Structure 1
Amino acid sequence: MTTEIRVAVVGLGKMGTPIAERILDAGYPLAVWNRTRSRAEPLEARGATVLGSAADAFIEADVCVTMVADDDALEAVAPEVLAGARPGTTLVDMSTVSVAASERVAERATAAGVEFLRSPVSGNPTVVRGGTLTLVVSGPEETARRLDGLLRSIGPKVFYVGEGERARVVKLALQVLVGGVTELLGEAVVLGESGGVERGRLLEVINASAVGSPLTGYKGEALLRDDYSATFTTAMMLKDVDLVLDLAEERRLALPFTRHLRGLLEGAIEGGHGDEDFMALYLALREAARESTGAGERR
């Protein structure tokens, strides 16, 4: 059944496209825009309107969802979107960006008479399409309540965490855990394999134990297949860790493990794994172990 709220999605990358698909599936009238128009064509075939520019978003829609790669991309597209804004419309940004960039966009939205919800997400394209995405929301509470149905059509786990930029902080806190757990999973597998334990058996035990989680589950499945095709690249994880460390420095916080994780990600990128999934942290560990073993044998 078609809903009354008209929605636009700006940014049809790996996450924006499945988000748009779920909005369509829920029956919302949808308009889409992407700088590379070909990415919009599959959605057009399913009934979405393709916008001529990002500035047309609020001509067609009451709510515009943006999902872009980083601070620069958001601060480039947000003024375009807001240029066509009407009072009473709402901008919902689902990107992972810095608190500072989000604050600047919030100022522009307020000047344009537009409500601004920060709604970064936790998950990957498979999680979006599987209907288990987590959304963390901050901004005007009344607006968040009004759009709760739309947000839950994208992902059922919606957490309102307060006013302002709190959702950005929560998302960055989650990325500390996502990056850290993935690195530790890689270390555990390298250790187990060094002792002759079959990878599949070790992962089965890990996922059945107290430390098992959805993250270790789906990262473990990729490890079993030696599949490092990116759901989220090592380079993008480094970008997020840099956002964490920038915020920590601003708040005068010491995050020693996160700083060490940054070095590990950087090393994996230097080893040629920047465009692979960040589970390639395991590959970097395995390669280092093989080099160490080879050096020992030569001695």
Structure 2
Amino acid sequence: MGLIGLGNMGTAIAERLLEAGYPLLVTNRTRGKSAALEVRGAVVASTPRDLAGQVDVILTSLADDDALEAVAADVVASARPRSVLVDVSTVSPGVSARVGSLAGAAAVEYLRAPVSGNPAVVRAGNLTFIVSGAQETLERVEPVLRAIGPTVHHVGDGEQARIVKLAINSMIAGLAQLMAEALVLGESAGVSRAALLDVMGSSAAGAPFVKYKTEPLLRDDFSATFTTALMEKDIDLVLDAADEAGVALPIAREMKRHLRAAIEAGYADDDFIALFLHLRKASGLDEVAAPPASVSEQPEQEVVR
């Protein structure tokens, strides 16, 4: 078993595989990130090419299109025939299709498997996979995926998983903005943040995302599980896919504007729920009082990678 990419998500996935007893070979562009995993039993490969030549299942967890395309070229150059490349990154359907062609030409099987969750979700054993590719290939590696997370949705044979993931992230971005607007409206009228979030979470609008973000909002904790800059990157992918399909996504286009404004205001590296901070400041409510009293604790997780 091999894993390429040891960012926050990749590291959490590696931990799950080691806990499940899988022998694990890892590599990362920044070698220092592998040290803690090496202590836990992982073997460190020097390069993606070195890793791919030694295993039959290769997982990649990478930041963007360019990273996936570069790593995939190295992987298929040395991978064994009929080995499986499973990419869990959030990337464009176009780049993913090119990787699929590259893999096919090298007799490497390919699954698109973007995930729903963050590192806390992974470590809790609750990650969801959105998978497209050959059903037979999925059956070969499904035990590995379920060792990481219990839910696997097979949504098609081609690039459908990429579209589903982008659609979900578009919805999550919109929910974050709607939460920000609701909270600013409430606070402007003297409603406590805790009271509004409590009602919001138990109402018809109480999606799991609302519950996941309640405690961080009550603590004024905007440390990133998924940054504003990364959410803008995903919305750019959504809009590119919409343009290619010739469909109108007016709310996604509006979200691009809100995210760009928040980034320019200095929130690029904060969690994307900092859309609330940006709107609060723009509305003249930027005097931050002591954090409101906590409501019942909720698990901190959301649908992004």
Matches of 1:112 and 1:26, distance apart in 2: 30
1:239 to 209, 220, 233: 233
Where in structure 1 do 4 or more consecutive aligned residues deviate above 6 Å?
A: none
1:182–1:219 Cα contact (<8 Å) kept:
no
- Please report how far the alpha carbon of residue 214 of structure 1 lies from its aligned counterpart in structure 2 after TM superposition: 2.1
Report the equivalent of 2:299.
Answer: none
Amino acid at match of 1:137: V
- Please report how far the alpha carbon of residue 58 of structure 1 lies from its aligned counterpart in structure 2 after TM superposition: 2.3
| Aligned-residue CA RMSD (Å) | 1.3
Report the equivalent of 1:283.
Answer: 277
Amino acid at match of 1:65: L
2:15 to 18, 21, 36: 21
Report the equivalent of 2:207.
Answer: 213
Report the equivalent of 2:303.
Answer: none
Amino acid at match of 2:144: L
- Please report how far the alpha carbon of residue 292 of structure 1 lies from its aligned counterpart in structure 2 after TM superposition: 10
2:24–2:42 Cα contact (<8 Å) kept:
yes
Report the equivalent of 2:112.
Answer: 118
2:93 to 85, 89, 99: 99
Report the equivalent of 2:29.
Answer: 35
1:271 to 244, 254, 265: 265
Matches of 1:211 and 1:291, distance apart in 2: 24
Higher mean C-alpha deviation, range 213-222 or range 47-56: 213-222
Task: State the secondary structure of the residue aligned to 2:153.
Answer: strand
Matches of 1:96 and 1:225, distance apart in 2: 29
1:134–1:155 Cα contact (<8 Å) kept:
yes
Query: Quick check: 1:198 aligned with 2:213?
Result: no
CA deviation digits over 1:152-178, x for unaligned, max 9?
111111100110101001001101111
2:86–2:110 Cα contact (<8 Å) kept:
yes
Amino acid at match of 2:95: A
2:256 to 251, 262, 265: 262
Task: State the secondary structure of the residue aligned to 2:59.
Answer: strand
State the TM-score, normalizing by the size of structure 1. 0.94
Query: Quick check: 1:47 aligned with 2:41?
Result: yes
CA deviation digits over 1:102-151, x for unaligned, max 9?
01111110111100000001111111111111110000111112211111
Report the equivalent of 1:142.
Answer: 136
CA deviation digits over 1:254-288, x for unaligned, max 9?
00011001000000001000111101100111011
2:224 to 213, 230, 234: 230
Q: How many residues align?
A: 287
Task: State the secondary structure of the residue aligned to 2:258.
Answer: helix
Task: State the secondary structure of the residue aligned to 2:96.
Answer: helix
Residue ranges of structure 1 left out of the alignment (5+ in a row) = 1-6, 294-299
Matches of 2:209 and 2:165, distance apart in 1: 15
